[in-house]
Amino acid sequence: MRTYKYKLWNHRKGVGIMKRYPKYKEGGVEWIGKMPSHWQTTAIKHLTKNLDGKRIPLSGEVRADQKRIYPYYGANGIIDYVEDYIFEGEHILIGEDGAPFFDKTREVSLLASGKFWVNNHCHILKNIGTSDARFIVHCLNSVDYFEYITGSTRDKLTQADLNRIKIPMPNYEEQAQIANFLDRKTGQIDELTRIKERQVELLQEQRTALINQVVTKGLDPTVEMKPSGVEWIGEIPAHWEMINTKYLFRLVTEPAPKNNNYELLSIYTDIGVKPRKELEERGNRATTTDGYWLVKKGDFIVNKLLAWMGAIGLSNYEGVTSPAYDILRKIRPLNERFYEYLFRCGLYFIEFKKWSRGIMEVRLRLYFDQFGQIPLVFPPVDEQNKIVNFLDHKTGHIDELISTEQRKIELLKEYRQSLISEAVTGKIDVRNEV
């Protein structure tokens, strides 16, 4: 019998060998391909009952109630807990929104039990046949939904689309064996993923703590200190100054000429300033940049609405950006990279929020009139340069470690999805795997 080699990412067992079934036939569905000769395919509508119309909308009072007991499911899993509920027992939930259909490492379907409420972005299915609900869920997380979605936007799975989905169907005993195998293996992978994600969190915390320490205390632990005059900063080196932002940077408003071909720049909380063209595949496109602000290399771009969440960054590019943003340019000698570390490390986020203006949190804006009054630490320029060089080296090493762990997480998620797909379509025989 031919064997099918499959790498099992288990740090103890290393690489495992999995068998194939002795005979295969065409499954008649593209995403299934060939399947074991004794399997059949069955439409979801023949295996489950759709309960989408059984939802009870929750009132605003119920949603706002602090006493939350039962899980509330949305398109991407548990969102929150609510006091009211509608369903009880075991049900199959499947998100109708498109994002998971593009990202095969995100689960579209899950098995819920107990008492819970479901919003209108989920389909609710009740297993009505002699099928293992866990097997159905694993199949639904392997389907190529673009074979079935018919809407014009191609990002919504309607009830009619869902009913047309066909999945492979071995007998109940074999379904249970496959589900047991996948539950065990995906559990192991999920645990490894959680460990890696925690390692990333710890590295990110280490990076932030290092930056916070160095940009406010300097590199010399023996230096004489003095009160900064700002309670949340505490003491700073005695030879440093505290200077309000408006004495270090000015607001720049230079409109771009019409029909220009400058690089379009944007600011993101997680990655800073980037050319928009690098992110166009995510759907971010601009039809024109007429009237946008000119940006020079070394300027800071500030998203007034999201500055308190980290949407402020140094531009390493010449270009233009949205007039909804503020452009800050230095007015005295300083190392812009030092202030990029200072602005983006999280230390000033609370202060940015405090100086922002608006009637509610989602409408807060940090205008330069207020930003300019925020006191900033100001070491001598040569010391700023030394701090930047030190942080570039140290954070570069940490960033490499983070990138390595994140890549391992991506591979684990890809492996998890591949393992599920191979098992539920019969590409590997896991009936006797332990």
pLDDT digits (tens, 9 = 90+) for 109-161: 889 888 888 877 888 999 997 899 999 999 999 988 888 887 665 678 888 88
Cα gap 77→93, rounded to integer Å: 9
Residue 364, amino acid: L
Cα gap 14→58, rounded to integer Å: 50
Helix ranges restricted to H, 276-380: 336-344, 349-355, 368-371
157 or 73, greater pLDDT: 157
3-state secondary structure of 214: helix
Domain-located, residue 5: no
Domain-located, residue 24: no
Residue 432, amino acid: N
Domain-located, residue 33: no
Cα gap 191→207, rounded to integer Å: 24
Q: Which two tokens stand for residue 102?
A: 């593009």
158 or 332, greater pLDDT: 332
Same domain, residue pair 261 and 357: yes
Are residues 367 and 357 in contact, defined by beta-carbon separation less than 8 angstroms? yes
Q: Please say which residue of 359, 378, 397 terminates a domain.
A: 378
Output phi, psi for 149, to 5 deg. -65, 125
The pLDDT of residue 118 is: 81
390 or 14, greater pLDDT: 390
Q: Please say which residue of 119, 134, 169 terminates a domain.
A: 169
Question: Which residues are registered as beta bridge partners of 167?
Answer: 42
Cα gap 127→133, rounded to integer Å: 6
First to last CA, the chain: 20
Question: What are 232-282's pLDDT values in tens digits?
Answer: 899 999 999 999 999 999 999 999 888 778 889 999 888 889 998 766 544
What is each CA distance from 207 to 201, 308, 383, 398, 428, in whole angstroms? 10, 19, 20, 7, 43
CATH code assigned at 117:
3.90.220.20
Cα gap 208→27, rounded to integer Å: 52
pTM: 0.80
Domain-located, residue 228: no
Same domain, residue pair 273 and 366: yes
Cα gap 127→42, rounded to integer Å: 13
Please determine, for residue 207, whether its predicted confidence score (pLDDT) is greater than 90: yes
Mean pLDDT, all residues of the chain: 86
Same domain, residue pair 152 and 265: no
Same domain, residue pair 358 and 270: yes
| Identity of the highest mean pLDDT range in 99-108, 191-200, 254-263 | 191-200
Same domain, residue pair 260 and 370: yes
Q: How many domains does the chain have?
A: 2
Domain-located, residue 424: no
Please determine, for residue 174, whether its predicted confidence score (pLDDT) is greater than 80: yes
Please determine, for residue 78, whether its predicted confidence score (pLDDT) is greater than 80: no
Q: How confident is the model at residue 4 (pLDDT cuts 50, 70, 90)?
A: very low
106 or 351, greater pLDDT: 351
Q: Which two tokens stand for residue 267?
A: 């600011």
Q: Please say which residue of 340, 360, 378 terminates a domain.
A: 378
Neighbours of 308 (CB within 10 A): 22
Cα gap 8→422, rounded to integer Å: 13
**What's the alpha-carbon Rg for the chain, to the nearest Å?**
28
Q: Which two tokens stand for residue 253?
A: 């408003």
Please determine, for residue 283, whether its predicted confidence score (pLDDT) is greater than 50: no
The pLDDT of residue 11 is: 35
Long-range contacts of 8-15, Cβ-Cβ distance < 8 Å, separation of 24 or more: 8/185, 9/189, 9/192, 9/411, 9/412, 9/415, 10/188
3-state secondary structure of 95: strand
3-state secondary structure of 51: coil
Residue matched to tokens 């998890």: 416
57 or 19, greater pLDDT: 19
Residue matched to tokens 């890809």: 414
Are residues 227 and 239 in contact, defined by beta-carbon separation less than 8 angstroms? no
Tell me which residue range forms the domain holding 326. Answer: 241-378
Domain-located, residue 123: yes
Same domain, residue pair 164 and 250: no
User: Percentage of residues in the chain with pLDDT exceeding 90?
Assistant: 56
Domain-located, residue 197: no
Helices and strands counted in the chain (H then E)? 9, 26
* Nearest one of 65, 38, 14, 7 to 426, comparing CA atoms: 38
In 291-415, the DSSP E strands lie at: 293-295, 300-303, 312-314, 319-321, 325-330, 375-378
Residue matched to tokens 């944007």: 266
Domain-located, residue 20: no
